[in-house]
Amino acid sequence: MMLQKIETALAALQPQELQIADESHMHSRGPESHFKVVVVSSAFDGVRKVQRHQKVYGVLGGLMQQFHGLALHAYSPEEWQAEQNAPDSPPCAGGSVRNQ
C-alpha cells in the first residue's frame, strides 16, 4: 500500500510525530491518489517551509510520481509543541467525488 511506502520513506527524517492519512475519498482521482502528511522532525529546525518540503520530496523520491496530491505539513518539534494540530485539507479544486 502507498501509505506504508510513504511511512517507510519518511522514516529517514527520524520523525518525532508522523501522521499519514489517505484522503483519496475526498477526490475524484481514485484510490491511493491523495494523502495528507504531518511530519514533525528536528531536521526542520531553523529550516524555511520551502526547504522542509524539498526535504520531504527528496526522501519520497520516485513515490511522488505514484500519487496525485500531497497535503504536506512539516513542523519542527518546537512548532508542533505550540500547534499540536495541522489544518484540515481544503476541498478538491479539481472536482470531488462528493460534488458529483
pLDDT in tens, 71-98: 899 999 999 999 888 988 877 766 544 4
Q: Which residue has the cell 519518511?
A: 10
What does pLDDT average to over the chain? 85
pLDDT in tens, 27-46: 666 566 678 999 999 999 99
Q: Is the pTM of this model over 0.85?
A: no
CATH superfamily of 2-82: BolA-like (3.30.300.90)
Query: CA–CA separation, 19 vs 39, rounded Å?
Result: 7
Give 44-53 contacts, CB < 8 A, sequence gap 24+.
Answer: 44/74, 44/75, 44/76, 44/79, 45/76, 45/77, 45/78, 46/76, 47/76, 49/74
Where do the structural domains in the chain lie, given as residue ranges? 2-82
